[in-house]
């Protein structure tokens, strides 16, 4: 059996990578509802085919008020800065990555962490709690 | 219900982003007094519209004596360094970000951590303590 | 006796380094099945013999669905960015590193962590091994 | 009341910033003997008034033998590298920062951590405990 | 009394710095056998006297098989990249740093961590155990 093992409690680490190009959004929103998912972004890089202009990557997520928020993740230009370390920028789903300027391609990579949901692991006998929140 | 869930003890991670422009300060001072708030800054980036001069970002916060202190967070120039990793620079509120030199825009992004106040989580039967400190 | 000591529970840290050149893949897949292995990548660097073109390093690993996935780890060019910090990019085996573009050499370095498998360390009633150590 | 609260056990995080100029040393040596102090350095940056030469910052502290030691913290040049992440370089007092070459100004920033001294927090009523271990 | 205090259990943090020049190796191998030693490397920097060529730093340590291994730590060139963050690259002794190319000087700095050996701290009444492992 590959992938996530059901009996695990500790976070498991998988490889994550995506390519951003003009007009192409990348969504991070795993559909699994038994586990908690998180991205730890590590690197953003250009490609030999990336035009020598400023490529600005935007991420859209949720702020602490539950509102949609856009933030600039990184700005790269092949002749000035072809790669930059993102230093473990933590993204919680749902999140969308897109190019705000530049046509890309820009490569984003890091780790996809999968962990048992904290509530579930300590309150296994109470399945209704999460559903109540959504009412 | 979105956003912060009242019953949570572990820190929750939200997206944070702001844009600094000449003459525009950005305040980080969440008004919620039941939770502890913290910023973990990850990236500072220029924009295609950022002029090719040195843009220096200042943060104003509190030192260990309780006095206001200003520190330089980052200096960016589009043609030399369009993005830099801030490596998890931790900011505790209240804090103010502003451009000390340059007209921007400069984008700052990272994580907004929200956690149960440490005192509250271990001393739930003593509501008056925090108010006493403010007298 | 050098190297890994069988009775250890805490992760042990060893040096890791590899060189990527055109047409030469580097596999990270330790064959030991009693321990868990992990790479924490720290640096990617060029060499004086590296041609002044963009060298893009690809890593191939496993995503959370158990599928093979390729991600771009770093893009380096000697005259623009001869070294970059990878910031602790965590790689779980099996993984393959290769140059997607450029002829290299590109040097990758970091730490090889070796730890007792998590499952084994929590299933003490199964092998008697742990109890013997305490006698 | 602002600043450090006496009853706290967990580390508290304050903003730290200093400016280095030719002939001006900056000492980090908080005089408080009830708490442990530490700097986690995050960023070093130039200023628009910084001359376009190499500015090398030296830190003087203590090595593991209790001897004074000097180490180079960072070298910045406005036209090449106006900012660099120091990645959480930990400085324990007493320490002195100074420019070894260049006239500055160079800005250093990070976090000043203040924590209860480890010995005090765990051995408030039992001074003999550690000595017993050595018998 | 300065330096390491015998009764300490938690890691203590000291300043580490060395200078690499052509033909001069730097060994990290503390002779103390009561404590565990580790380097957390933070920064690599050039000097105003460093020639404008590529200086490549090599570290020699031990891989997980107990074999000597060489890895490239960083490549710096004054006019392109005068400083780079090493991001906490962990080095366990014995290790040797040297310039593979370039005449330096290159400055390396970080933290020297000193901690009680894990085995000793939990098994104080059994001095023979470590010797038994070597039989």
Residue C96, pLDDT score: 98
Query: CA dihedral defined by E116, E120, E124, E127, rounded to 10 degrees?
Result: -140
Residue of D nearest to E2 (CA): D66
Please, which pLDDT band fits residue A11 given cuts at 50, 70 and 90? confident
Please tell me the predicted confidence (pLDDT) of residue E30. Answer: 93
What are the residues whose beta carbons fall under 8 Å from the beta carbon of D56, sequence distance 6 or more?
A: D72, D74, D75, D99, D100, D101, D102, E45, E47, E48
Contact between chains at B56 and D43 (C-beta distance less than 8 A): no
User: What's the structural domain count of chain B?
Assistant: 1
- 3-state SS of D47-115? CCCCCCCCEEEEEEEECCCCCEEEEEEEEEECCCECEEEEEEEEECCCEEEEEEECCCCEEEEEEEEEE
Residue D4 lies in a domain: no
Which residues of chain E are modeled with pLDDT < 50? Answer: 1-8, 118-135
Predicted confidence (pLDDT) at residue B32 exceeds the cutoff of 80: no
Q: Which of C71, E51, B14 is nearest to A106 (CA)?
A: C71
Q: Of residues D33 and B43, which shows the higher confidence score?
A: B43
When pLDDT is averaged across residues D80-99 and rounded to a whole number, the result is: 97
Q: Do A43 and C73 touch (CB under 8 A)?
A: yes
Cα angle for residues E12, D30, D98 (degrees, 5° grid): 85
Residue A95 and residue A37: Cα distance in Å, rounded?
Answer: 11
The answer as to whether E73 is a domain residue is yes
Q: Is D38 on the interface with B (CB under 8 A)?
A: no
- Whether B99 is in a domain gets the answer yes
Say whether C64 and A30 touch across the interface (CB within 8 A): yes
- The pLDDT tens digits for C98-133 are 999 999 999 999 999 998 654 444 333 333 333 333
- Is the pLDDT at D127 greater than 90? The verdict is no
Q: Pick C10 or A37 by higher pLDDT.
A: A37
pLDDT of residue A31: 80
Chain E: closest CA distance from residue C132 (Å): 13
Return mean pLDDT, chain A.
84
Choose, out of B17, B19, B37, the residue to mutate when testing the contact with A (most A CBs < 10 Å).
B17
Rg of chain D (C-alpha set): 18
* Confidence at residue C115, expressed as pLDDT on a 0 to 100 scale: 87
Note down the domain range covering E26: 12-117
For chain A, which chains pass the contact test of at least 3 CB pairs under 8 Å?
B, C
Mean predicted confidence (pLDDT) in B30-40: 87
Tokens (6 digits) for C46: 């060029």
Q: What confidence score (pLDDT) does residue B135 get?
A: 30
Interface residue D37 vs chain B (CB under 8 A):
yes
Instruction: Please answer yes or no on whether A48 and C56 come within 8 Å at the CB atom.
Output: yes
Instruction: Report the share of chain D in percent with pLDDT over 70.
Output: 77
Q: Which CATH number does the domain housing residue A68 bear? A: 2.60.120.340
Mutation target for D interface from E9, E30, E109, E127: give the one with most D CBs within 10 A. Answer: E109
Position with higher pLDDT, E131 vs C97:
C97
Is A74 a member of any domain? yes
Adjacency order of strands within the sheet including E68-76 = E26-28, E95-101, E55-62, E68-76
B19 SS3 class: strand
Beta strands E83-91; E68-76: pairing state: unpaired
DSSP state letters, E26-75: EEE----SSEEEEEEEEEEE--TTS-SS-EEEEEEEE-TTS-EEEEEEEE
Q: Are E61 and C42 in contact (CB under 8 A)?
A: no
Residue B27 contacts A, CB cutoff 8 Å: no
C28: in domain = yes
Specify whether the backbone of A18 is left (phi greater than 0), alpha (psi in -120 to 50) or beta: beta
Q: Determine contact, residues C9/C116, Cβ cutoff 8 Å.
A: yes
Q: For residue A125, tell me if it sits in a domain.
A: no
Token reading at D108: 């250093």
User: How far apart are the C-alpha atoms of C2 and C5, rounded to whole Å?
Assistant: 8
Other beta carbons less than 10 A from residue B119's beta carbon: 17
The larger pLDDT score, comparing residue C108 to residue D36, is at C108
Helices (H), A33-104: none
How many other CB atoms are found less than 10 A from the CB of residue C64? 21
pLDDT on residue B34: 82
C1–chain A nearest CA distance, Å: 32
Burial class for A44, CB neighbours closer than 10 Å (0-12, 13-18, 19+): buried
D104 within a domain of the structure (yes/no):
yes
> Is B48's CB within 8 Å of A69's CB?
no
User: Which has the minimum average pLDDT: A93-97, A125-129, D79-83, E21-25?
Assistant: A125-129
Q: Is B59's CB within 8 Å of D2's CB?
A: no
pLDDT at A117: 57
Q: What value does the mean pLDDT of chain C take? A: 84
Distance CA C107, CA C99 (A): 11
pLDDT on residue D117: 57
Query: Tell me, what's the pLDDT at E59?
Result: 98
Residue numbers of B between 52 and 111 with CB closer than 8 Å to A: 78-88, 107, 109-111
State pLDDT tens for residues B106-128: 999 999 999 865 444 433 333 33
**Is residue B124 a contact partner of residue B81, using CB atoms and an 8 Å limit?**
no
Would you state the pLDDT for residue B9?
56
Distance between CA atoms of residues B97 and B25, nearest Å? 6
Classify A122 as helix, strand or coil. helix
> Distance between CA atoms of C18 and E127, rounded to whole angstroms?
39
Chain-chain contact of B89 with D109 (C-beta, under 8 angstroms): yes
In a domain, D61, yes or no: yes
Output phi, psi for C94, to 5 deg: -80, 140
**Residue B84 pLDDT more than 60?**
yes
């Amino acid at each position: 059996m590959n992938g996530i093992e059901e009996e695990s409690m500790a976070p498991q680490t998988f490889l994550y990578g995506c390519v951003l190009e003009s007009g192409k959004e990348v969504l991070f929103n795993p559909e699994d509802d038994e586990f908690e998912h998180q991205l730890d972004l590590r690197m953003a890089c250009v490609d030999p085919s990336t035009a020598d202009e400023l490529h600005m990557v935007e991420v859209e997520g949720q702020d602490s008020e539950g509102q949609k928020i856009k933030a600039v993740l990184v700005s790269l230009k092949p002749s000035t800065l072809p790669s930059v370390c993102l230093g473990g920028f933590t993204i919680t789903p749902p999140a969308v990555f897109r190019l705000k300027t530049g046509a890309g391609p820009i490569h984003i990579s890091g780790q996809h962490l999968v962990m048992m949901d904290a509530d579930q692991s300590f309150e296994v006998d109470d399945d209704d709690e999460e559903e109540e929140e959504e009412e």
